[in-house]
Chain A
Amino acid sequence: MNAYPALLAAVSSDPLIAEGITPRAPETVMRLSRMGSFHASRLSFMRVLLRRITAEGWRVSKPVWTINAQGVGRAVYSAQGPERAYSLVAFAHDLPPEQRSDRVIATAWDATFTLFDGIPSAADLDRLEANVPLQEAGRISERELCLARANRSVRLWDHVVDRLAAGAQPDLQTVLDVGYLMRTTAVYGSSKFGAADRDVIAARPECAAPFQVEMLTVWLIRTFVMDLVEHMARAKGGATAVPIEPALRRRFGIGNSTGLGMAPFLMTHPVLLNNWIAAREWALARVRSVSTPSAPEIDRFNALVPRVARNAAEWQSSHPVQMVKLAALREDLSRLTAKVAEGLAPHAPWNTLWVWAETALSEEGQEALASLLIEVHPDLVDGLAECMAADEAASFPLDGAQSVAALRQKIVTHYGWALSMDWSAKPAQARVWYVSQEKLEPRLGERWQEDVAEWEQPLQPGRDVAMLERALVGVEGTVAAFVLRYPEHRYAIRRVQICSRFPYAEIHDNTISDQLLPIDLLRAKLSFFGATHFDPRSDRWVRINMFRGAPFPHEIAAEESDLWAYPV
């Protein structure tokens, strides 16, 4: 922490952080194994979105629903906020089963979507119908903010339609086992395939926090999917059909299947990553600083412990790595439950618990506890969500006036972890991040077995900064003069200059080693979205659940708490 004087100054000037408590150090937090153990929290973007929608009393209507008995047609859901409306435009398709695939190389889906900025006209809908079902092969415009698609879970869809059509409710355990009726396989935002650039909407209050339009898209997709399954049941069962009972309906989230396409994001947006992590670490430090929580706060904590444990119990995965982690998490939560049953410390109970957890629990358990503690004090935490966006253009310019000596000092201070690695060992550089011509998506190759190194992407800051450091030996003068002669180091120099100012901007691990699990990168990012029930399907793609337990639009006004993410 001493390497970041600005951070320490900010900590000591925050009256909500007690003497002797600091946010966790980057070398503790910014490790792939820990990032791959992050849990959603109340700072997650879907929580931020629904808090705003509830507080501002947004109204959602369904102005268009022209879907036939085969489940083909279009629908529009419009969400009206205080100043602007946003509309989900949905196209439902009749997809032959053999075409259904989560892979990004798919070309057809059960449903395709866009989020329209405002209320679409009939002409807009016709234009969108000609493009949105094509996804990457179509074009959208500045009036659209997101492009997405989803596929049915064949395990659950037919079961639910059949039961409802027969006048019965779906089986609870079957619902819990899968968790969703459809999973999205991509939710594209800012500027993708012609969509509006983030700059166009960034100044709107409702879009200030990261990924708010993407989260709104997914929340409305979930509503559409539930309406569609009930529509299909009515088409099949006629007067016998029933809707899903409201409490059970809430148990359905929307699934998502995510692969390597998302993995580079955390490396290509270092300041954004810093701001996400800093907000969560700051929140934890503030909560640990509470000396005597009120009785309602203690009640809130006590009520949440079993709900967090239930969430872990309902979380299923058949991936060997996640199965081990889940077993550890469940064990951790039993220990936490027992510890809490012994009674909380009279003074600074959260910090006492935290210090205990740092040695008693696995990383899964520690991160679950971090998210749990943050829940107890919304007043100390929720405002931090406003710090999670980033002005990336401001940190882009290279400081050429910096001396090479000063740059080297920054490398030694902030990249010691990279300098201490033996980059000449083959396993240390076993992998190559590249983009394939086929689908223009990131992939991970084997450097010593495939001829792909020529197309390597700059996604290995540790190695590249270590190479830079070697090139700087014996050099004097300014960074500007050095980089003029050696432009190949420009990328790494910018990286060092950014990451020496932003403590949580860099992952302190080798992102091209033979030990790399790309799913750790995916989980870190998805946890900030608010995803739950991470279920890796290999080392490089993962399924998750989003908005599970969340209120539907018609329920939001009556929602009393925002703790929907934790099953009762």
Chain B
Amino acid sequence: MTYALGEIETLCRKAARGAGHSWGVAEEAGRAARWLCAHGFKGAELIHSCLAPGDEALGVGVKLADFPCDQALPRIAAFEALLPFAAIAAQRLGKTCTLSGPMACYALAADGSVWRAPSMGSAPSFQCGGTPTGERLIRQSRAAPDPETLAALRRLELRTYAPATEASRIAGAGAGLSDND
């Protein structure tokens, strides 16, 4: 079964909130998952791995997007999870930026296009500048996350919902006049 990117974004936003992130960071996680799926990555899986306690990928990502500058990056297991943040940096700077990782080197253009070239095992880094080389990533409109990841994300999402009570069922949604006339 495939999912709409909007479904992935919403699920990951809520899961990030359920995992304890602020709403502002949770929005970033949702957008990032959507971006990753739209570029053919396993966005739900990557973002889910960033929600583990103590994981620093989201923090590194938002810092990169908020204030883009040349920098060495820590070694992050889900390295590709940084891509959407590097893409925001390129959009904000209005020029192609480069995200280099141990397996691949990505060029992110200001117009949103992304290129991937093999990496020579380089240390993780971000540069405000670069040239598109390698294969251009093709945009996708659906995602097919694995069922275990979905279930795990849904467990986190569930934490953002208040348990139903009879009071909320009646008053919270606003009963009022007859609804069958």
Contacts and interface: CB of A to CB of B under 8 A. Distances in A.
Binding partners A and B: yes
A427 to B, nearest CB: 17
A116 B10 CA distance: 23
B173 A435 contact: no
B107 interface: no
A396 B31 contact: yes
Contacts of A227: none
B66 A398 contact: yes
Interface in B1-43: 1-7, 10, 21-25, 27-28, 31
A142 B142 contact: yes
B138 interface: no
Given A104-B173, A444-B172, A487 B22 contact: yes
A541 B180 contact: no
B174 A197 contact: no
A194 B142 CA distance: 9
A455 B163 CA distance: 10
Interface in B132-181: 141-142, 158, 160-165, 167-169, 171-177, 179-181
Nearest to B65: A397
B177 A538 contact: yes
A443 B168 contact: yes
Contacts of A192: 4, 6-7
Contacts of B172: 260, 434, 436, 443-445
B4 A197 contact: yes
Given A194-B4, A541-B174, A257 B181 contact: no
B168 A540 contact: no
Interface stretch (A85-93, A289-297, A476-484): A476-484
Given A198-B6, A540-B173, A493 B65 contact: no
Nearest to A481: B67
Interface stretch (A56-64, A94-102, A358-366, A374-382): A94-102
A538 B176 contact: yes
Given A142-B2, A198-B6, A491 B66 contact: no
A49 B4 CA distance: 25
A491 B176 contact: no
Contact of A97 (B28, B141, B164, B180): B180
Interface string A442-468: 011110001010110010000000000
Contact of B173 (A103, A194, A446, A452): A103
Contacts of B3: 194
Contacts of B66: 398-400, 479-480, 483-484
Contacts, number: 167
B91 interface: yes
B92 interface: yes
Interface in B100-122: none
A490 B65 CA distance: 13
Nearest to A444: B172
A540 B23 contact: no
A318 B181 CA distance: 14
A504 B25 CA distance: 25
Nearest to A541: B174
Nearest to B25: A487
A356 B88 CA distance: 49
Contacts of B23: 458, 490-491
Interface string A343-378: 000000000000000000000000000000000000
A491 B25 CA distance: 8
B75 interface: no
A134 to B, nearest CB: 15
A493 B142 CA distance: 31
Nearest to A318: B177
Contact of B4 (A191, A478, A493, A537): A191
A260 B31 contact: no
B88 A195 contact: no
A3 interface: no
A475 interface: no
B63 A484 contact: yes
Interface string A314-329: 0000110000000000
18 contacts: A142-B4, A155-B181, A192-B7, A260-B172, A400-B67, A435-B162, A440-B161, A443-B168, A446-B171, A450-B165, A455-B161, A484-B63, A487-B21, A487-B25, A490-B25, A491-B22, A540-B176, A541-B176
Interface of B: 1-7, 10, 21-25, 27-28, 31, 59, 62-63, 65-67, 88, 91-92, 141-142, 158, 160-165, 167-169, 171-177, 179-181
